[in-house]
Amino acid sequence: MASEGKVAVVTGSSKGIGLATVRLLKEKGFVTIGVSRSGGGEAHEELRADVSSKEEVRRVVDYVVSKYGRIDVLVNNAGFGVYGYFWETPLDEEEYEVRTLLLGVIYFTKSVLPLMLRRNYGAIVNVVSEAAYVSMPTLLVYSSAKAAVAHFTNGLWASLKGTNVKVSGVYPGPVKTDFTSHPSFKNTEPKFNILAVPPERVAKAVWKAIRTGKREIYVPSKLLIEPYFLKLALSLQSLTYFVQRSIYGKKVIF
Ligand SMILES: NC(=O)c1ccc[n+]([C@@H]2O[C@H](COP(=O)([O-])OP(=O)(O)OC[C@H]3O[C@@H](n4cnc5c(N)ncnc54)[C@H](OP(=O)(O)O)[C@@H]3O)[C@@H](O)[C@H]2O)c1
């Protein structure tokens, strides 16, 4: 996709992967619109909105289309995780987590996709997670929501075959961001494991997704092996947990 002057909307733009993505897309010549609850960040225009609210998402999309006339790229990235064993974590916060991670993606895609299809042009990139395929015991609702986003992305990818509107999922492993700033991580001493990458690596993968429309992109790419391995040998999941726990211990979150 040639990018000069094209309009890209990035959710969760105030920090982390979203901020790195905005910076990269600006370098590539995009007009960038960021979305987050705080409204911070470095996009050409930063909008304050909560992606878990379909009214707020609708308002953002209407505003962008009326001002810029088009949306060429949508990066669904906003998200957070509630940490802890399922029987200890607060349900209200988990409901909000699901609304943000899953419904936020659905609301934005529902609003933007018809516009792209009308022009037969555009790219949607969903920032998913390796947790979509390897369910994390202490991020269980998070993993479940990401698995649903992966299903949503793959099915949409298939249904848009033959059009010039592309949908991709980017699947990071651990990334060095503020992800652990959610209050549920307090007192957990979380450590990132040795695979953790800087958010700029994920931004590059998002850019690759925009250019290629590839269905799944893993960051780092060696993670590619893990989901397919697990799909082929689900019976080994218990063994995987055992090995993870033996190597990294209970305190490691990814
Ligand atoms: N870090 C990792 O290890 C990792 C690994 C795999 C996947 N991911 C995924 O990558 C995405 C970005 O996470 P990150 O690591 O960059 O975390 P981060 O540094 O905490 O950034 C999260 C971003 O999402 C925004 N956000 C959160 N909830 C929102 C809501 N309801 N409405 C609007 N904006 C919201 C935050 O802004 P405000 O607080 O201002 O709203 C912030 O801009 C998430 O979907 C996460 O699940 C992260």
Residue 189 maps to a domain: yes
For residue 78, name the pLDDT band (cuts at 50, 70, 90). very high
The amino acid sitting at 211 is R
Query: From the CB of residue 156, how many other CB atoms can be counted at a distance below 10 Å?
Result: 19
Which pLDDT score is estimated for 192? 57
Residue 2 maps to a domain: no
Q: Give every CB contact of residue 110 below 8 A, 6+ residues apart in sequence.
A: none
Q: What percent of the chain has pLDDT over 90?
A: 77
- Split into its structural domains, the chain has a count of 1
Question: What angle do helix axes 140-159 and 91-98 make, rounded to 10 degrees?
Answer: 20
For residue 193, name the pLDDT band (cuts at 50, 70, 90). low
When pLDDT is averaged across residues 197-216 and rounded to a whole number, the result is 97
Q: Which atom of ligand 1 is nearest to the CA of 41?
A: 43
Residue 254 maps to a domain: no
Q: List ligand 1's pocket residues with C-beta within 6 A.
A: 11-18, 36-38, 50-52, 77-80, 100, 127, 129, 172, 174-175, 177-179, 181, 199
Instruction: With 0.85 as the threshold, say if the pTM is over it.
Output: yes
CA distance 83 to 225: 26
Which pLDDT score is estimated for 134? 85
When pLDDT is averaged across residues 169-189 and rounded to a whole number, the result is 90
pLDDT mean across residues, the chain: 90
Residue 253 maps to a domain: no
Residue 17 maps to a domain: yes
Q: Whose CA is nearest to atom 30 of ligand 1?
A: 50
Residue 135 maps to a domain: yes
Would the pLDDT of 251 be above 90? no
**Which domain does 28 fall in, by range?**
7-248
Would the pLDDT of 254 be above 50? no
Would the pLDDT of 250 be above 60? no
**What secondary structure does DSSP assign to 88-145, as a single string?**
TS-HHHHHHHHIIIIIHHHHHHHHHHHHHHHHT-EEEEEE--GGGTS--TTSHHHHHH
What CATH number has the domain bearing residue 75?
A: 3.40.50.720
Instruction: Fill in the DSSP letter of residue 222.
Output: G
Would the pLDDT of 249 be above 80? no
